[in-house]
Structure 1
Amino acid sequence: MRRFVTIAVIILVLGGAAVAWQPLSNYMQLRSVPKWKTAKVTEGNISAVVNATGTVKPVLQITVGAFVSGPIAKLHVEFNEEVKEGQLMAEIDPRIYVAGVARDEAALANRRADVERAKAQLQQAIRDENRANTLREDDTAFIAQAEIDRVHFARLSLQAMVKVAETAVDQAQAQLDNSKLSLEYTKIKAPCDGIVINRKIDPGQTLAAQFQTPELFIVAPDMRKKMYVHAAVDEADIGLIKVAQEKKMPVTFTVDAYTDLFTGTVEEIRLSATTTQNVVTYPVLVGAANEQLKLLPGMTANLSFEVARREKVLKIPNSALRFFPAKQHVRTEDLQLLEGQVKENNIDPGDVQETGLSAEERAEIRKSRKVRHVWVSDGLKLRAVEVVAGLSESRYTELISGDLKVGDVLVTGIEPPKPWGG
């Protein structure tokens, strides 16, 4: 009897264990499944940008110099002062040039007196010639032919002297005009309306303009209307920038001095490339309004060129495209994708050229990189979903095609385990 009871107990225990095995097994499998980080497929707008840094500069900088030499007598403008066209900015000591004008005025008066004297002598010579000709007509023997020739050529000589004297007057007048201009140049005037962004002289400083024009001021006109941001853009992005310029797409940028977001447009892409450590960049000029004069020369700007935009498209989180699962978490049907994805992720378009592939092969590889896989939870395992990626921004990528819809949950990572007792 006791033996029968023992066998019955053993049978009951084994039966209970068999009944409890499946739930226990399922429980252990669920315990082994990681807690996934997830993100949803959404719908919205995507804009792709090219980032660059640049320097704020005025649209135009006019250097105001000095044409004449001498010490600075007075300064009439200071840094950051707004000036009008023709406004007096500085004065060079004019005493030497005033004296030069007085000297040339006296020389001009002297040359004019020479003209009057030469004309008087010419008039006397004309009368002498007329008298000689009259006497010659009355009596051919009274005056010799040699005397007639003498008075005739004397008259011609004095006519030439009058012309020489008149030419000397013109020369003296030109010299006087030159001296007056030099005197006028002692007054440094603003060439246009603008703001004095630099002053390079001080009162009493002596200027020497014999060899090169000294720089006195730098005036920037129209700073309240527009400023330029000179950005250096990598050669790989210039094609996108050119398309953005043609479509008049906006450019946004910030400067460290303010929290404002400034906007502008691409004004010009210059062809003067610069190579620094084998990196080729092109200068791109971005025009931005500056009514409040917040943008100042020399500020560093961080720009974002909008190069493409998509409206109302499905958006995949970039974290889902970057996620790469382990083999034990993937269902059997998708295991063959893992090896291919490893190879795909290890290929960088920048390194393709080193593999010795042709240009056509490199282009094909870059196109194939648009075909990606994202992962969704399918029971205890992960299932791969093939997608074709389009435009990308910092957080999302456009879904061109794929078996996904708004609200689908994509796996982006594994939740780290909580600490003991947490």
Structure 2
Amino acid sequence: MSDIDINKLRVDRQQTSSPTVTKKRRVKVWHILVLLFVAALAYFHFFPSAVLVQTTQVVSAWPSQQYVLLDSTGYVVARRKAAVASKGTGRVEWLGVSEGQHVKQGTVIARLENHDVASAYKAAVANSDGAAAGVLSAQTVLSDANDNLHRVSFLYNKGLVAQITMHEALSRVTRAKQSVAGAQATLAAARANQDNAQSALDYTEIRAPFDGVVIARSANVGDIVTPLSSAADAKGAVAVMADMSTLEVNADVSESSLGSISVGQPCEIALDAFPDRRFRGEVSAVVPAVNRASATVTTKVRIIDIDSKILPDMSARVSFLSKQVPVDQNKPVLAVSPQAIVKRHDHDVVYTLSAKNTAQEIPVTVGAQLSGVRAIQGNLKVGEVLVLEPAKKIVDGTLLKLPETH
């Protein structure tokens, strides 16, 4: 067996790859890198990364907010209010009103049992009639006495009667005059008793003291009503009335803010019951007393725009203004945080958050500063979500992301 040349089995590594193969491989690598770059661009184009943003909302604001000096809270009250009762004591026989009913001044709203009082009045009338008859009788006696005196005087002057007869005639006239005076005094006393009985009878009919609305019924048929309400289960009043034309707001103002308030100052009133409405008002009085516990002063604000839906004891917020807002301008406007408004191509715009979480550019017209918000006009509505402090990279269509809530 011949010897094998092992050197022939050695691989020459320098000759394993030619220059042409190496060049092809490099081209393939560059193609792969370019494809990866294009794929990355396509991914970021079609699947861009979301921008984290803070949001705010479009709100409704009132033009009066630019004139607000200070705010206060209080309650609606009626300046003219009364607990209607009787001066006499009795059982309620009839009650003719209910809560919310409008009544006119002098209208009978309740009646007490009056059989005993009516009988006393009839007796007083009879006494008055008897006293009047007594006066007539006494006047008749006086007339007869005067006629007798005239006749006796004529005979006395002729010397036909004695002097004593003349004295008796004079005495008779004097006694008749005294009888007339006594009868007239008796008649006056009887008529006074009749008036008293009439008043007692009138007290059994409880009437409305002014035009107003019944806001509460304090008694029912069968209840005993007494002025002092001292008896067990007795009522002091049958109903509570309020004059709705005198409604005002009692607002508590800090004593440190009294310098900003004056009588006649315009105000704007917001009621919790009507959050979408505002009512004009003005300061009618500042109570000259300070509450030590709260260091506040009660300020009475008259409601100018009286509405039948406004009721006593409604909670209210009062804004004291530096000037009155014209009626035609006192309407709600759209407003946003000033930080939501940015300049794009020399125009004021805001960015809304669409249903797909993308930014939508909305041109707006900027108005007055209203407290902490800015009035705007644009294709927006109350409650719409806006981007707060949008960065320059946010444009129309930018994908947005909201902070996670825990």
Q: TM-score range by the shorter chain?
A: 0.5 to 0.7
**Residue 270 of structure 1: SS of its match in structure 2?**
strand
In structure 2, distance between residues paired with 1:218 and 1:203: 16
> Runs ≥4 in structure 1, deviation > 6 angstroms?
210-213
1:208-247 pair list within 5 angstroms: 208-209=226-227, 214-221=236-243, 223=244, 227-242=247-262, 245-246=264-265
- 1:337-384 Cα offsets, whole Å, 9 max, x none, are xxxxxxxxxxxxxxxxxxxxxxxxxxxxxxxxxxxxxxxxxxxxxxxx
Counterpart in the other structure of 1:161: 179
**What is the Cα deviation at residue 317 of structure 1?**
6.6
- 1:281-322 Cα offsets, whole Å, 9 max, x none, are 24232414243x332211111233334799xxxxx979xxxx
Contact 2:225 2:238 in 1 (8 A): no
In structure 1, distance between residues paired with 2:288 and 2:102: 33
Q: Call closer, same or farther: CA 1:59–1:204 in 2, change over 3 Å.
A: same
Counterpart in the other structure of 2:31: none
Contact 2:225 2:237 in 1 (8 A): no
Counterpart in the other structure of 1:274: 290
Counterpart in the other structure of 1:96: 116
Contact 1:72 1:206 in 2 (8 A): yes
Q: Which runs of 5+ in 2 are unaligned?
A: 1-51, 55-62, 326-336, 340-368, 375-388, 392-401
In structure 2, distance between residues paired with 1:47 and 1:308: 6
Contact 1:241 1:307 in 2 (8 A): no
**What is the Cα deviation at residue 54 of structure 1?**
0.3
**What is the Cα deviation at residue 233 of structure 1?**
0.9
Counterpart in the other structure of 1:66: 86
1:332-411 pair list within 5 angstroms: 393-394=371-372
**What is the Cα deviation at residue 74 of structure 1?**
0.7
In structure 1, distance between residues paired with 2:303 and 2:255: 21
**Residue 231 of structure 1: SS of its match in structure 2?**
strand
Counterpart in the other structure of 2:268: 251
**What is the Cα deviation at residue 89 of structure 1?**
0.4
Aligned residues: 279
Contact 1:270 1:283 in 2 (8 A): yes
In structure 1, distance between residues paired with 2:99 and 2:182: 53
Q: Higher helix share goes to which structure? A: 1
Q: Call closer, same or farther: CA 1:215–1:127 in 2, change over 3 Å.
A: same
Match status 1:51 vs 2:74: no
Counterpart in the other structure of 1:298: 313
**What is the Cα deviation at residue 75 of structure 1?**
0.4
- 1:377-411 Cα offsets, whole Å, 9 max, x none, are xxxxxxxxxxxxxx993458xxxxxxxxxxxx9x9
In structure 2, distance between residues paired with 1:115 and 1:280: 68
Contact 2:283 2:302 in 1 (8 A): yes
Q: Which runs of 5+ in 1 are unaligned?
A: 1-34, 38-43, 311-315, 319-390, 397-408, 412-417
Give 1:267's aligned amino acid: V
**Residue 219 of structure 1: SS of its match in structure 2?**
strand
Q: Call closer, same or farther: CA 1:240–1:135 in 2, change over 3 Å.
A: closer
Larger radius of gyration: 2
**Residue 242 of structure 1: SS of its match in structure 2?**
coil
**Residue 276 of structure 2: SS of its match in structure 1?**
coil
Give 1:299's aligned amino acid: M
Counterpart in the other structure of 1:112: 132
Contact 1:118 1:165 in 2 (8 A): yes
**Residue 259 of structure 1: SS of its match in structure 2?**
strand
Contact 1:227 1:288 in 2 (8 A): no
In structure 2, distance between residues paired with 1:86 and 1:300: 32
**Could you say what the CA RMSD is over the residues aligned between the two structures, in angstroms?**
4.0
**What is the Cα deviation at residue 155 of structure 1?**
1.3
**What is the Cα deviation at residue 46 of structure 1?**
4.2
**What is the Cα deviation at residue 205 of structure 1?**
2.0
Contact 1:229 1:301 in 2 (8 A): yes
200-209 or 82-91, which deviates more? 200-209
In structure 2, distance between residues paired with 1:269 and 1:113: 59
**What is the Cα deviation at residue 162 of structure 1?**
1.2
Match status 1:203 vs 2:221: yes
Q: Call closer, same or farther: CA 1:165–1:258 in 2, change over 3 Å.
A: same
Counterpart in the other structure of 2:149: 129
In structure 1, distance between residues paired with 2:321 and 2:299: 17
TM-score by length of 1: 0.56
